[in-house]
Structure 1
Amino acid sequence: MGNDGGSIPKRRELLRLNESESQANRSKLSVKLNSWYYCSLSEEPLRYCEGKVVSDYRGRLYNKESVLKHLISKGNTPAHLKSLKDLVELRFCFKGDKILCPINKDIILDLNGENDIPAFVYLVPCGCVVSGKIAKEITKLKSKPLLCPVCNQPFEHTNVIPINPSDTTDLESRMARLRQEGLSHNLSRRHKKSRSYEGSGEPDFPKKRVMKAEKGCEADVPKPSKVIAKQIQ
C-alpha cells in the first residue's frame, strides 16, 4: 500500500462524517415536522384539536381562522389564496398526539417527532386524510367512480393531494387545468367578474331579458338536474 497518492481515512474522521450526516437528517426531519406543526401563513401552531386545519392546492397546511383574518383585512395573503374556495378543510384521524391513517392504522405520524414522516394525502373535495399507500391502491382500482375509503364520496385520481410534498410540479399542472375549466381547488365554480354598471347604477342586463321583464314575463330559471350517485357496495 502507499505511493499511490491516496490516504486512508481514520476512524475519527469517519465518525465525524457519520455524525454530520445524522445531524443533516435530523435537521431535514425538523423542517418537515415544522410544516406539520405550524400554520404556513401565521406561523402559529396548527389547531388540530379544533378541526379547522385547511390546505391549499400545494398541500400546505393553514389554520382556517388565520386565512379568514388575512382575507378580511386584505393583509399579506399569498396570491393563490383569494377565497375559501382555494382551500379544503381536512379531516384527520387522531390517536393521542399521533395522526394515523383511518384505513391502515399501522401508518402513524407522531407529532412529537419520534418516527419518520410517512406520506399522507387528502382527497378533494371531501378532505379525508389517508396514507399515500392506501390512496395509491385505491387509484389502481378499475371501478368508476373511485370512492373515498372513509366517507364513500366519489373523487378523481387527479384530486389526490400529498400533504407537505417536496415537489409540487404535478400539483401546479393540476391547478392550471382547473383554472382553465373555471374551477377552484375545492372544485367549486369560480365567480365571474361582475359587469360594470353604467349611467344610473342599474345593472346592464341583456336586451332579451329586459324585454321579458317589460312584458311581465318571469325570467327563465333552469331546473336543477337530478344527479344519481353510483355507490359501490
Structure 2
Amino acid sequence: MGNDGGSIPKRIELVKEKQKEVRPDQNAMKIATWFFCALSKRPLQDPVVACALGKLYNKDAIIEYLLNKNAYGDGDIICSHISNMKDVQSLKLAANPAFKETNGASIAHFDQGMVSRFICPITMKEMNGKLKFVYLNTCGCVFSEQGLKEVPSSTCIQCGKSFNQENVITINPSPVEQEKLKTDLEEKKTKAKEKKEKKKNKVAKQESGEVIAESSSSNAPNNKRKRENNSDEDPKQSPSKKPSIKSEVGVTANNTNSSTSVNCGIGGNSVTAVVNQKVQEHLVNTSSKTKQSKAIRSIYSKKKDDSVTESYLVRGTFNRYAA
C-alpha cells in the first residue's frame, strides 16, 4: 500500500460509480427517422408509406416484409402492427427541387447540411425533422403542421378530400405521442374485431333461421295430410268443425188454400240458406198453382139450384145417382 515500491491506487479504482447513461446523438436520430426507411434502413424513395404510428417506410420494404416476415431481422419489433397493406397509407410527397443525389450518403457520414428529398407544398420547408410534419390518412397528402394551420380548411388543399382533426397523423412523433398512438391503435383493432364477430354471429343466426324456415315449409304438406287423415278417422271431432244441416219441409192443405212451410237450419253457410229459400218459394208456388179436380171443387162450391128439400147429409157431396 505504500513504501513498498508498488503503485498507489486512485479513488476511481477503489470506488465504483454508477455508469452514466449513454444517450444517442439526437441529430443522428433525426437523420435516421426522416431520411431513411424505418424497416430496411435504406434512404427513403418514392413510393413512401406511413403506418398509424407515424413511421416512414419504403413501400417495397413493406411488401418484402409481408411476403417474408424474416426478411428483416427486427421486422417483428418495428412493424409488428402491420399485417397487410391496408395498415399503411401511401403518401403524396412534394419533391424538393433543391435536392441532388449524393453518393455514399449514410448515417455514419451525415452532417447538418443534408438536403431532404421532400418539402411542404404550402410553406416550401424541407421535411428534415426540424419542423413538425403531418399527413392526412384520408388521402395521404403531407404538409408541415405550421402550413396546415396557416390554411385552415376542412378539405385538403391538394386533392380536395374532406378531413377532420382525427385524420391528421403526426410523422415521426415523440416517444410519448407514439405510445398514445399505439394505445389508440390497439383499441381500434379491438373494436373492429368485436364488430366483425357480431356481424358474423348475426349472419350465422340469419342463415340458421332460414334453414329452419325451409325445413318447416317442406314439412308443412306432410303435416297437413296428417291433420286431414286424423280428422277423417277421429269420430269424436267437435261439432263446431263439422257442418250440420237440418231441414224440415212440411206441406199443409186446408179447405181454403194450401200452404207450404220450410224450416232450414244451416250452420253458418249463406249459400245453402239461399238455396233453401229458393226451394221454399218454389214449393209454395207449385202448391198454390195445383189444379183441383171438379169433384173436389163441387164439394166446397155452392150451387145456385140448391133446394131446401135436400138432406144435409148429402148436401155438397158427389153422388153419381143424383139427378
Asked if TM exceeds 0.5, the reply is: yes
Match of 1:104 in 2: 123
Aligned to 1:158: 166
Distance 1:178 1:137, change over 3 A: farther
Match of 1:88 in 2: 89
Asked whether 1:135 is paired with 2:153, we answer: no
- Contact 1:39–1:61 (CA<8 Å) still a contact in 2? yes
- Of the three residues 66, 70, 73, the one matched with 2:65 is 70
Superposed CA RMSD: 3.4
The reply on whether 1:172 has 2:182 as its aligned counterpart is: yes
Whose Rg is larger? 2
**How many residue pairs align between the two structures?**
164
Match for residue 20 of structure 1? none
How far residue 127 of structure 1 moved from its aligned partner, in angstroms, is 0.7
TM-score by length of 2: 0.43
Q: Distance in 1 between matches of 2:43 and 2:213?
A: 56
Instruction: Show CA shifts across 1:4-54 (max 9, x none).
Output: xxxxxxxxxxxxxxxxxxxx99x3122111112221112222223xxx211
The amino acid that maps onto 2:170 is P
Q: Distance in 1 between matches of 2:214 and 2:130?
A: 62
CA displacement, residues 184-224 of structure 1 (integer Å, 9 cap, x when unaligned): xxxxxx976998xxxxxxx9982235468999xxxxxxxxx
How much does 1:173 deviate?
Answer: 4.4
From the two aligned structures, give the one with the greater helix fraction. 2
How far residue 121 of structure 1 moved from its aligned partner, in angstroms, is 0.7
Counterpart position of 1:228:
none
Q: Give secondary structure in 2 for the equivalent of 1:58.
A: coil
| C-alpha displacement of 1:95 | 2.1
SS in 2 for 1:67: helix
- The partner residue of 2:131 within 107, 118, 134 is 118
Q: What's the counterpart of residue 187 of structure 1?
A: none
C-alpha distance in structure 1 between counterparts of 2:82 and 2:162, whole Å = 25
**In the alignment, which residue of structure 2 is the partner of 1:54?**
49
AA paired with 1:135? L
Tell me the TM-score normalized by structure 1: 0.58
Unmatched 5+ stretches in structure 1: 1-23, 111-115, 184-189, 196-202, 216-233
Contact 1:59 1:161 in 2 (8 A): yes
Identity within the alignment, %? 29
Look up the SS of the partner of 1:36 in the other structure: helix
The Cα offsets for residues 120-159 of structure 1, whole Å up to 9 and x where unpaired, read as 11011211000111233456x6xxxx21121111112012
Higher relative CO (Cα under 8 Å, sequence separation at least 6) belongs to 1
> Tell me, which stretches of 5 or more residues in structure 2 are unaligned?
1-22, 100-116, 218-323
